[in-house]
Each structure stands twice: as C-alpha cells, then as structure tokens.
C-alpha cells in the first residue's frame, strides 16, 4: 500500500514524501479513506501508531478542496489533553500543510492568552486546543467556533481521566450540530462511547 492510492492531493503527498514516509501505517490506511468519505470515526489508537497523520492528512485534504468563500474561519478543531501534545500536533499539522494555503495554531492554558488571541484574530483554519483554555477564550468572546466542520477528540480517555468531561460536553454544545466527529482513544469505556454519541 502506498500513500498515492489514498486520494490525497499532490501538495499533501509532497509534504509526506519530505517527511520520509513511504507507506501508511495501519491506522492511516484504515482511517484516511473513511474520513475523506466524511464519515465519523471512533478509533482505538495509542501514541506512536501514526494517528496524528491519520486524522491530519484527510482534514487538510477536505479543507483545501473546499476553500472558504469569505474570511478565514476555524473549520477544524482538535481537542487534546495536554499542552505538550497540542504543540506536537501543531508541529505535525504545519509540516503536512507546507504546500497548502492553510493556517493553524494552538491554544493552551498556563501561559498569557494575549499572543494566542492575536494569532486567532489573523484568521485560522485549524485550531488545536486544550479544553480549558478554549472555553475560557470562548466565554470572553475572543473565539468563534461556530463554523467548525470537523471535531477531533484526541486521546479522549486521557481527557476524561484529567477531568475534562464537563468542559468537553460544554464545547460540544457550542459547536454546530452538523459536523464530522473523529474520536481517538486508547481505551473504550462506556463514558467514551457516550461522548462519541454526542
Ligand atoms: P503519532 O502516533 O501520530 O504520534 O506518530 C508517531 C510517529 O510516527 C511520529 O514521529 C510520526 O512522524 C511518525 N509517522 C507517522 N506516520 C508515519 C508513516 N506513515 N511512516 C513513518 N513514520 C510515520
């Protein structure tokens, strides 16, 4: 199996090639076509399996295929438990979108919010966030997530373990009801299944 058969654009394939990837990992092989088909997924995947590219590559394809008519709006939101993970996902998203007109950024707590708010004001397509800071900026009306088309819950079990269940539910209530949901978790409790069901 090669990346060429997955339905990704030449700009994305070029970035993948530059990363030195030759074959998709099992999770990528399974998830990419399903996400490109605009279906929801509930995937069991640990860190190290290539899950980040598994959701990022098809998201980049979907967003770049249908560019927004007017101003740039947040169209994909990735929720993740820690700032380290959030920063790592952003790094990946930036690398894979080198040859695309896609802007991405990250927001997380524990640091001054002003630089994050300034970046958001410039217009962002993909936002990677920890739940607390996202809600905080939303409550201050510094962030609009009313145009999100794709929601990724990354490491969903860890987010629940860290006590983010309430925050995630509040975020899901703010997001447009009509959206694509991509949930990744190493384990599947009843709580995770409920979260996936919205
Ligand atoms: P992740 O599970 O998303 O944290 O990815 C784990 C590591 O695998 C990262 O360092 C990626 O850069 C790398 N990686 C992801 N997909 C591939 C692939 N298809 N071939 C080789 N390495 C990959």
| Residuewise pLDDT in 10s, the chain (198 residues) | 899 999 999 999 999 999 999 999 999 999 999 999 999 999 998 889 999 999 999 999 999 999 988 899 999 999 999 999 999 999 999 999 999 999 999 999 999 999 999 999 999 999 999 999 999 999 999 999 999 999 999 999 999 999 999 999 999 999 999 999 999 999 888 888 888 877
Tallying the residues shown for the chain, one arrives at 198
Residue 195 burial by CB count (10 A; 0-12/13-18/19+): exposed, middle or buried?
buried
CA of 2 to the centre of ligand 1 (A): 15
Quote the pLDDT of residue 19. 96
Pocket test for ligand 1, best of 52, 60, 154, 158 (most atoms within 8 A of CB): 52
Tokens of 28: 């990528």
> What is the DSSP-derived secondary structure letter of residue 144?
-
User: For residue 76, which of 56, 92, 98 has the smallest C-alpha distance?
Assistant: 56
Q: Is 181 in the pocket of ligand 1 (CB under 6 A)?
A: no
180 sits in which H/E element = strand 180-185
Quote the pLDDT of residue 1. 81
With beta carbons less than 8 A apart as the criterion, state whether 42 and 156 touch: no
Q: Is 58 in the pocket of ligand 1 (CB under 6 A)?
A: no
Quote the pLDDT of residue 190. 87
Tokens of 156: 């969903």
Q: Is 49 in the pocket of ligand 1 (CB under 6 A)?
A: yes
Quote the pLDDT of residue 191. 87
Quote the pLDDT of residue 45. 85
78 sits in which H/E element = strand 76-79
Cα 165 from Cα 171, distance rounded (Å): 10
Quote the pLDDT of residue 68. 87
């Amino acid at each position: 199996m090669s990346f060429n058969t997955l339905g990704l654009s030449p700009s994305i394939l070029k970035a993948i090639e530059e990363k030195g990837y030759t074959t998709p990992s099992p999770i990528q092989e399974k998830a990419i076509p399903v996400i490109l088909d605009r279906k929801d997924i509930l995937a069991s995947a640990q860190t190290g399996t290539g899950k980040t590219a598994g959701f990022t590559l098809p998201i980049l394809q979907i967003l770049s295929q249908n560019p927004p008519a007017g101003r740039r709006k947040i169209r994909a939101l990735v929720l993740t438990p820690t700032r380290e993970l959030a920063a790592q996902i952003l790094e990946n998203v930036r690398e894979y979108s080198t040859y695309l007109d896609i802007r991405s950024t990250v927001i997380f707590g524990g640091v001054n919010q002003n630089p994050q708010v300034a970046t958001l004001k410039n217009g962002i397509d993909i936002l990677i966030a920890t739940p607390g800071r996202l809600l905080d900026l939303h409550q201050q009306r510094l962030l609009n997530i009313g145009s999100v088309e794709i929601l990724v819950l990354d490491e969903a079990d860890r987010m629940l373990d860290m006590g983010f269940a309430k925050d995630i539910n509040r975020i899901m209530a703010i997001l447009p009801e009509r959206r694509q949901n991509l949930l990744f978790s190493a384990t599947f409790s009843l709580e995770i299944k409920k979260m996936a069901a919205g």
